[in-house]
Chain A
């Protein structure tokens, strides 16, 4: 087990280095010079632009730039934003907890709603409840989040006044974006849960349990659900990865000052150090979530062993 985790973490490191190189090169290949952009439309005198590029370190060859960047990053220094001149590390430290809070809230909503709906639909397969739940699930995955978010804002913030329209500080700010972000994951989780329940319920051990005379409730929740959850856990992990990217849209709709909003702003201004750090942090999260999911398997399914 320990060895397995060590190997996985080693692989994660390789992925991170590859991701950092990729984003480093992609940013510099993409059109748009960060130094030039500081001047708006009208170009500054060439000499001034050169000084600005030198000040940002952009006059160096690409490998030198990368080596410097990684050298500093390994010491925990992600540089300073080209725009605000703040240390990127503290910018991320300010934003990341907000996005984490949003993503976790969305994940909880998605899991609770998704599993409940999936179990209900799976147990009552073929009923109107099943049909209605699955129809809602199709709607849930198809509805664009910027539209759904606006509907929630108009109904619950403008109409009813329960939550705030925008912001990222209080719980009233988090609910609507979390629901918006969680809705499509809830739909996916509901469909997977239903399918797993339907399949598990046909297994021999379920028939045995019923023959023993156990109450249906016990059969569903004690016996069926535990096994049905195995594929659900992996889908929840995957959804969390998607949420990190979905947060970009949702944060912009709700004026939620998280990593997604930072990423958009940094991309528009070609603030390389900020974008690089956002990508690295997101990649790290994605890798860690996947590792956590794989480890969770061993708890849920004793047959799975990692050597």
Chain B
């Protein structure tokens, strides 16, 4: 009958990709615009208030003073940040590891859960500030007491969440595994651990920020290094810009840890929980 003209549109891939990239960047900027403007606005307001009321620097330094403090004390800040990172990281790893292993034990033995859960709650109830001197007396001035305190702070939220997560597998799922004659180990690896991941990551995000806090609090008591020690020293010497710079670094450290955990979570958990109809 008639001939069909097939038209193949040639797509200019590179320009399209460039535009897409620009779009994405602009999109991110637009999405975070309120947060960015609010943050910049607050810093400007702070600078303005310090100028306008002629507040002395030792009482509250202006953002510009703090920025100079970063420049002048770069080396001190850097050398004191490293031990704090190490303590927070090791505390995070060990605290969560112990919590996860304990949670797995609790799920498999109700006797263990009945015996040790109350003790875990009791340890959680001791104020960390009160625990720090005790640990310093036992372990001395080194890294150990700081790691233990950072770990203890991570431990409890992870334990509670992990126990709940391991128990979150539906009864039907466990029936299925029983029909398949799966062993307890297989059920743990194939069902319980994967279904606990969202619960675990909720706890790890809390732990990420609190482990930094734990390390710093531990450094307040009898330490000559770390961001915590620097905070104490800067306060007693009225070096307010340095104090503020240290606090900013501590906060950034916690946020970075939180961000890393979030990225790992997004990579690991691509599924949505079952039962959401």
Task: State yes or no: do A and B come from one complex.
Answer: no
Question: A residues within 8 Å of B by Cβ?
Answer: none
